[in-house]
Amino acid sequence: MRERALEWVKAKWTQEPHACPICANENWTVGDLGATPRLTEAGLLDQATVFPVIPVACDNCGYTMFFNARIAEGVLPPGIYKESSESSDEEGAPQGEASGESS
């Protein structure tokens, strides 16, 4: 997954230079996929839902960007991320592949 994440970030990061906003270093490391927890409407930790993220860290100061791995097509293996049934109304990712499902 990490190799695919690296390729995805390379393909998307077209804006130059790739300077860190904190220290201006231009060397970055794409880390292993992680996940951030979600809060419920009441502000409580929703232990059933996480957002998969791709961390990209500055090699000098450690400033880290997180990319939403649900948007990074092809990075997550198929089926690793299961959409929560309560939030799958209309705001799902606009992906052509998923538009044919009827159930």
Q: Does 64 bind Zn ion (CB under 5 A)?
A: no
Provide the 10 A C-beta neighbour count for residue 12: 11
Residues 24-43 that bind Zn ion (CB under 5 A): 25
Burial bucket for residue 75 (CB in 10 Å: 0-12, 13-18, 19+)? buried
- Pick from 19, 23, 45, 80: which binds Zn ion (CB under 5 A)? 23
Q: Does 19 bind Zn ion (CB under 5 A)?
A: no
Residues that bind Zn ion (CB under 5 A): 20, 22-23, 25, 58, 60-61, 63
